[in-house]
Amino acid sequence: MIKMKTRNVDVFYGENHAIKDVSIDILDKTVTAFIGPSGCGKSTFLRCLNRMNDTISICRITGELLMDDEDIYAKSVDPVQLRARVGMVFQKPNPFPKSIYDNVAYGPKIHGLVDNKSDLDEVVEKSLKRAAIWAEVKDRLNESGTSLSGGQQQRLCIARAIATAPEVLLMDEPASALDPIATAQIEELIDELRHRYSVVIVTHSMQQAARVSQKTAFFHMGDMVEYGDTTEIFTNPVDQRTQDYITGRFG
C-alpha cells in the first residue's frame, strides 16, 4: 500500500536546484532507504516529507507531495500536526535536557493525545518498549535523557518520535554516530518498527541500507536515478551511476 506519494517534486535553495523532478511512491509498513553521495539531495528530499524545509526561508518546493492522497503542503495542513504524523530521528541523538520520562511524554502532552497521568505513563512505557530501551531505563525514568549512552539516547529519541503515534518515521543517518553494537540494536529496532510504520531512512552506509530496507532509492546530483527493490539495487542495478556508486567507483 502506498503511504506517501510525490510527483514531479523540485526543490530550490535560492538558485541551487537541489531536487529535480522526483516522483516516488513510499510504501506503508516498509523500510525505504535513500542512498547517494554527499550533496546528492537525499536529506533535502527526506525533509520535504514532513515539511522540515519550511523553516528555511530560501527553500522553494514545487510539485505534489501526498500522504494518503492528501496534499501535505495544502494551506489547511498544520506543519506541527503533520510532524506528529511524520516523525523524525536525526543523525546526532538530541534528547531534551529533561528526564527520560519527559522526553517521551513531551509530544503526547503538547499534541493533547492523553487525558490523564496514567494514560501518559502508559504511552511512555509503550513507546520505550517499542524503541527497545525500556528494560535499560525503567528504573531511572527521572534521570536526565542526556545521561544515557549515545546508542541509548538514539533509542530514546526514537521512543520520543513514536510516542505521538506517527504513521511515517523519517530517519536521517540514525546510526552514523553509534558504535557497531548500538548500530545493530537500531537496525534490529528499525526492522521491528516497519511492522507498524512506514520508515524512510537516509544512510551513507550502503551495507546498512542493504540490511534494513526493502526498497532503495539512489540519488545523484538532485536526480533520483534509480528506485527499486533493495535486493535488485544491490545485486543488479540498472543504471551505471548506481552501479558505480554502490561498488565504490568513480561515477
Partner 1 sequence: MEENAHIVSAFDKELAHIQDQISQMGEHAAAVLQTALQAVKKRDPALAQKAIEMDKILDDFELEIEERATQVIALRQPMALDLRVLISAIKIATTLERIGDLGKNIARRALVLSDGKKLKITSSVVQMGKATRKQLDAIMAAHTARDADLAVEIWENDVDLDEMYNSIFREVVTYMMEDSRKISAGSQLLFIAKNLERIGDHTTHISEMIYYVVHGKPLGDDRPKGEPLAYSEE
**148-207 residues near partner 1, rule: CB under 8 A:** 206-207
d(CA 189, CA 228): 23
Q: How far is the CB of 184 from partner 1 (least distance, A)?
A: 15
| Separation of first and last alpha carbons in the chain | 34
Residue whose CB is less far from partner 1, 190 or 209:
209
CA 64, distance to chain mean position in Å, is 20
d(CA 23, CA 111): 31
Q: State how far the alpha carbon of 34 is from the alpha carbons of 124, 141, 166, 172, 182, in Å.
A: 30, 34, 20, 9, 21
Binding status of residue 231 toward partner 1 by CB under 8 A? no
C-alpha cell, 64: 505534489
Residue whose CB is less far from partner 1, 17 or 241:
241
Residue 229: enclosing H or E segment and its boundaries? strand 223-229
Q: How far is the CB of 228 from partner 1 (least distance, A)?
A: 13
Residue whose CB is less far from partner 1, 107 or 237:
237
Compute how many residues bind partner 1; rule: CB under 8 A: 14
Binding status of residue 60 toward partner 1 by CB under 8 A? no
Binding status of residue 248 toward partner 1 by CB under 8 A? yes
Q: State how far the alpha carbon of 38 is from the alpha carbons of 127, 149, 205, in Å.
A: 32, 27, 12
Q: How far is the CB of 232 from partner 1 (least distance, A)?
A: 9
* HSE (side-chain half, CA atoms, 13 Å) at 3: 21
Binding status of residue 249 toward partner 1 by CB under 8 A? yes
Q: Choose the binding region for partner 1 from 86-94, 108-116, 125-133, 229-237 (rule: CB under 8 A).
A: 229-237
Residue whose CB is less far from partner 1, 57 or 207:
207
Residue of 40, 49, 47 whose CA lies nearest to 20: 40
Q: Choose the binding region for partner 1 from 63-71, 144-152, 185-193, 232-240 (rule: CB under 8 A).
A: 232-240
Residue whose CB is less far from partner 1, 14 or 251:
251
Residue 16: enclosing H or E segment and its boundaries? strand 16-27
Q: How far is the CB of 187 from partner 1 (least distance, A)?
A: 15
Residues that bind partner 1 in the complex, under the rule CB under 8 A: 206-207, 210, 234-237, 243-244, 246-250
